Amino acid sequence: MTKITLRKKLLLFAILLALIPLGIAGRTMITISQDELRSAANDEISITAEQFAQTIDEFRSDAWIGPLELVRNAIANGEMVGLSAIEDIGDVVWLRLSVGDAEPVVVAREEFADRLRAAGLDPVTTLAPEAANPSDAGTTIDDRVEYLAAVDAWLLTANLPFPGGLGGQPARMEARIDLERLRERFALHSFNKNGTLLLVDAGGQQIFDAQRKDLGDLEIVRRATSVLANEGARAIHVAPYVRPSGEGMLGGYAFPQSLDWAVVAERTEENAYLAVAEMRQELLLWVSIGLVLAIGGAIVYSGQISRPIVEIGRIAHEVGQGNLRVEVGRVRTRDEVGDLARRINEMIRGLRERFELQKFVSSSTVDAVRGGETVERGGVRHRATVLFSDIRGFTAFSEKVEPEVVIEMLNTYLSVQADLVKAHGGDVDKFVGDELVAVFQGEQMVANAARCADAIQKEIARLNAENPQWDIAIGIGINTGDMIMGAMGSADRMDYTILGDTVNLGARLCSAAGRHKTILSESSAEDLRTTSDFDLLELEPIEVKGKTDPIRIYELATGNPT
């Protein structure tokens, strides 16, 4: 017979205690919320469609017919100047006044006419309507829209007769209306962020679509055009349906009072009920948390205290192996074990901070503080070799590219150089913008510096081949002599670095080095002649700041032995 231990019983009880209440409560909440969200989604869709239909009616009254009626009244009262003020007439881009058999007066908005001319179109013939309404018909706007692909413009035609005519003769005014402002309002509607807003005519063709797509295969569009085709009330309607692709949708439509158009708003059911899915995920998360807490409580009450001790031992072993990214994360007890875990975590954080700080100082700085005593300000004279490496044309490069590219390039090239300095026994003293300063010590310090310089030039050439768009060149200067090494600065903020005339001359040699060149001082060159077989080419002496006599310099030939 299988023995059920107390620990197993506690675990089973904890699981049931977590799952049953949370499951029942969650299911109830989801059912209620789903109904509420469905109602809210329906309301949002219907309100969106209705409001945009009202927007179209407002455009008709405020930007189309209203201004035209003011112009017509002005003309009827003998103010013919009203016709020439087309630049101020809402969205109207073309007007034609016809009186009896007289030649019509035609006026076009200059800016729109210029667009047509630039596209090779004649404004007069292009904007003229295909057919005119009888002069005694009421004020109307033709439901049919015309798309001018050459200028990407959508136009409507309005007809306004003059009641009683002008001067005893029948008269009417025709206008062409640019729908650009309405199209912009339509495209920028907030509903388009997580849904689709469509504008269709009575034939089911999509307005503001250059292809004039026929959307008759969409059930919601078929319903809307069916209402347009039948006389009677045009009510707002929202209903679920399935697209031909099989995707479940929730859509609705509304109609402007002034045009035989339909505004259709639709959204996928998945998007409309997204909050329900998120609620399910949230419920699953809390059920999981409750289950974990219940199981954890059962384990605690079962008297098992060995796990925290084992965890602490594991973390100590990881730290001993050099892994400072771990922490004791499972011990939450407020006792001696918990205190031990917190102290170990504090120790690990301290070690990790010290390890990270080492990346920002030179190896000589680290060596100076490893002695266990407080580092005092001051310096000591040492004979060493200093290497300066500077990127040529960095200022011009940084002015031509984005700052992010500059940082990427700089980090790439400086990182490669720093690795090579370390590989050749040197120490990176500092980075100054695009310049690297390194120090070499020991019997082979000059040879190591020369080998490092040669390796840097070769590696830069390789990087340039991989990144031709950067085309970076390095100039390197090497000098050997006595220099001061020590801590400089204030008592609270010091920098362990190198100073002296030898360092200054190294910087001057770097400035004198051309693209892909390495320049050595006479002292460095003399050392190389006795300790290695590098090829050196003596150059013309140069004058440098701080030196009375010209300085003899040498160029290190590329491809030297390493």
Of residues 211 and 138, which shows the higher confidence score?
A: 211
Closest alpha carbon to 300 in 15, 10, 16:
10
Residue 237 lies in a domain: yes
CA 517 to chain centre: 40
Closest alpha carbon to 451 in 427, 475, 432, 424:
424
- Arithmetic mean of pLDDT over the chain: 80
DSSP state of 541: -
DSSP state of 542: B
Query: Is 422 found in the same domain as 533?
Result: yes
> Which DSSP helix (H) or strand (E) runs through 472?
none
- Kindly give, in sequence order, each residue whose CB lies less than 8 Å from that of residue 13, ignoring residues fewer than 6 positions away: 294, 298
The pLDDT of 242-269, averaged and rounded, is: 88
Amino acid identity at 543: E
Residue 536, token pair as written in the block: 């050196």
Of residues 418 and 302, which shows the higher confidence score?
A: 418
Domains identified in the chain, total number: 3
Query: Is 216 found in the same domain as 153?
Result: no
Residue 417, token pair as written in the block: 């150089």
pLDDT at 360: 46
Query: Is 402 found in the same domain as 461?
Result: yes
Contact 436, 428 (CB under 8 A): yes
Contact 437, 430 (CB under 8 A): yes
Share of the chain above pLDDT 70, in %: 75
Residue 509 lies in a domain: yes
pLDDT at 179: 92
d(CA 280, CA 33): 11
Exposed, middle or buried, 327 (CB in 10 Å: 0-12/13-18/19+)?
Answer: middle
The pLDDT of 412-440, averaged and rounded, is: 90
Query: Is 405 found in the same domain as 480?
Result: yes
Residue 305, token pair as written in the block: 């205290």
Check whether 213 has a pLDDT greater than 60.
yes
Q: Give the range of the structural domain holding residue 233, as residue numbers without chain letter.
A: 183-269
pLDDT at 124: 85
pLDDT at 119: 92
Of residues 288 and 59, which shows the higher confidence score?
A: 59
Tens-digit pLDDT profile for residues 523-553: 999 888 876 678 888 889 988 887 888 989 9
Place of tokens 């770097």: 510
Check whether 364 has a pLDDT greater than 60.
no
Query: Is 442 found in the same domain as 539?
Result: yes
Q: Which of 269, 301, 322 is the endpoint of a domain?
A: 269
Residue 143 lies in a domain: yes
> Which DSSP helix (H) or strand (E) runs through 354?
helix 336-357
The pLDDT of 240-264, averaged and rounded, is: 88
Could you tell me which residues are beta bridge partners of residue 155?
A: 146, 178
* Burial profile 163-174: b = 16 or more Cβ within 10 angstroms, e = fewer: eebbeeebbbbb
The pLDDT of 171-194, averaged and rounded, is: 91
Q: Which of 213, 238, 269 is the endpoint of a domain?
A: 269
State the pTM of this model. 0.47
Query: Is 201 found in the same domain as 149?
Result: no
The pLDDT of 487-498, averaged and rounded, is: 68
How many degrees, rounded to 5, is the angle at CA 64 between CA 62 and CA 69? 85
Which range has highest mean pLDDT (46-60, 128-142, 314-328, 337-351)? Answer: 46-60
Q: Which of 178, 202, 237 is the endpoint of a domain?
A: 178
Query: Is 210 found in the same domain as 154?
Result: no
CA dist 107 → 74, 94, 321 (Å): 16, 6, 87
Residue 474 lies in a domain: yes
Residue 144 lies in a domain: yes
Residue 519, token pair as written in the block: 């320049």
Residue 260, token pair as written in the block: 């035989």
The pLDDT of 159-171, averaged and rounded, is: 87
Tens-digit pLDDT profile for residues 380-401: 888 999 999 998 888 778 888 8
Residue 394 lies in a domain: yes
Query: Is 167 found in the same domain as 193?
Result: no
pLDDT at 459: 92
Query: Is 131 found in the same domain as 196?
Result: no
Query: Is 515 found in the same domain as 375?
Result: yes
Phi then psi for residue 92, to 5 deg, are -75, 130
pLDDT at 492: 56
Query: Is 513 found in the same domain as 369?
Result: yes
Residue 349 lies in a domain: no
Contact 479, 521 (CB under 8 A): yes
* Domain containing residue 515: CATH number: 3.30.70.1230
Lowest mean pLDDT among 32-36, 423-427, 469-473: 32-36
* Domain containing residue 227: CATH number: 3.30.450.20
The pLDDT of 232-244, averaged and rounded, is: 81
CA dist 238 → 4, 44, 81, 253 (Å): 58, 10, 49, 7
pLDDT at 334: 66
Check whether 80 has a pLDDT greater than 80.
no
Residue 67 lies in a domain: no
pLDDT at 561: 42
Query: Is 214 found in the same domain as 156?
Result: no
